[in-house]
A and B are shown apart, each in its own frame.
Chain A
Amino acid sequence: MRRLSILSAFIIVLFTLPALADALLSQASGRYRIDAAKSRIGFSVAQVGGGGISGVFGEFTGRFEINGRDISRSKVEISIAPASVATGQPRVENFLRGKAVLDAVRNPEVIFRSSKVTRTGPQSAVIEGLLSARGRQKPALFNVELVKRAGRRIVFRVTGDIRRAPYDMQVGYPIYSNIVKFEMTLIGRRI
């Protein structure tokens, strides 16, 4: 009898979860501005023999729009100032800002604009779009997970791997990996 009731509860939860997720998404529907002061855009590049370079971009702006009825029509746009790269090692930072890597003087913005959002789970999605850096625009993909929603605030965890070579930033390869791993916590405030 007890086993039957657990099974029933499980079935109920299984069928109501998507509905709950839809309800959550519907409530989250709207336009948001990224709170740069509380958000974090981190990155890391692995090196041979272990370790690597990791850091953050301190200056960025962005906004996104969640379409609760049709998530695939949601949009996001983020602009990062490459000059704001911080690693804790000034010589590394200057090198990353320089013309061998980000070339921040001639290319003061790294921009991501979404073109497609695909829901992958109750609170997760894949965002595809174009990433512009160093005067080149290439397709990019990020995984997004809804962490929390409270009041007018919504928190996402975003991860993605970007290859350096298509942006002509392959200096140091193969000592440093071609892959830049991004890990971001983006906090949006409803506009």
Chain B
Amino acid sequence: MAVMLRNTETGYGLVAILFHWTIAALFAGQVTLGLVMTGLADEEPEKFGLYQWHKSFGLLILLLALVRLTWRLINWAPDLPAGMPVWEQRAARLAHVFLYAAIVLVPVTGWAFVSSSPLGIPTFAFYLVVVPHLPVPVSEAAEAVLQRVHTSLALISAVVAVLHVGAALRHHFVRKDAVLRRMIVPARRRCGD
């Protein structure tokens, strides 16, 4: 049986699985990095470099998210398991929509926050490409607001992601269905299909 790149009615294809885990790992790393770097005093020499890595990986997430969303639009997700209560189906769909939105909005608000800073520190993504600032108002007030929006959105997303992980584990260990497994093992095409 050949591994499917595209999703099927019952399982995820390899592309969707790679997007899911890559962005999940990057997002978890970014939340951790964000907490570490904002916890450092401004005068700590490491802080500047950590911010640059945070900005670089944030832009990478945004890029991957846009490609992933495009892929998602041309690949319907597999059906939810039969017998799932309606409220769980709604909660799952809501969480998925929120997390899809988050992987775009969290980096965009971070980019806007950096762009609004009167410090004007350039974003030199992965020390390779200078990424221009977004056309947003530049002031201490705008920077403070956008920082709060970015941080709050990131933390709420982290909470939703934890609930999402919890739900996946519940499906695997309590309901013993294929919800988690199908996000690990790609769908396969039977010979002759």
Residue numbers of A with Cβ under 8 A of B are 47-49, 51, 89, 91-92, 94-95, 98-100, 171-172, 174-175
With A100-B45, A172-B48: A89-B119 Cβ-Cβ less than 8 Å: yes
Contact A94 B42 (CB under 8 A): yes
Contact B118 A89 (CB under 8 A): yes
Contact A171 B45 (CB under 8 A): yes
Complex Cα–Cα for A172 and B119 (A): 13
With A48-B124, A174-B127, A175-B122: A95-B52 Cβ-Cβ less than 8 Å: no
Nearest Cβ on chain A to B38's Cβ, whole angstroms:
15
A/B interface sample: 27 pairs, CB < 8 A: A47-B121, A47-B122, A48-B122, A49-B124, A49-B130, A49-B132, A91-B119, A92-B119, A94-B42, A94-B43, A95-B42, A95-B43, A98-B42, A98-B43, A99-B45, A100-B43, A100-B47, A100-B48, A171-B45, A171-B48, A171-B49, A172-B48, A174-B124, A174-B127, A175-B52, A175-B122, A175-B124
Write out, one digit per residue, whether chain B residues 39-74 have a CB within 8 A of any chain A CB (1) or not (0).
000111101110010000000000000000000000
Chain B residues bordering chain A, tally (CB within 8 A):
17
Contacting residue for A51 out of B45, B49, B120, CB 8 A: B120
Complex Cα–Cα for A91 and B119 (A): 8
Residue numbers of B with Cβ under 8 A of A are 42-45, 47-49, 52, 118-122, 124, 127, 130, 132
Nearest Cβ on chain A to B101's Cβ, whole angstroms:
30
Nearest Cβ on chain A to B56's Cβ, whole angstroms:
11
Residues of A within 8 A of B44 (CB): 99-100
Complex Cα–Cα for A49 and B45 (A): 22
Contact B122 A99 (CB under 8 A): no
Residues of B within 8 A of A47 (CB): 121-122
Residues of A within 8 A of B130 (CB): 48-49
Residues of B within 8 A of A89 (CB): 118-119
Residues of A within 8 A of B122 (CB): 47-49, 175
Residues of B within 8 A of A91 (CB): 42, 119
Q: What 8 A-B pairs come out closest when comparing CB atoms? A: A98-B43, A100-B45, A49-B130, A171-B45, A49-B122, A175-B124, A99-B43, A48-B130
Nearest Cβ on chain A to B179's Cβ, whole angstroms:
44
Residues of B within 8 A of A171 (CB): 45, 48-49
Residues of B within 8 A of A172 (CB): 48
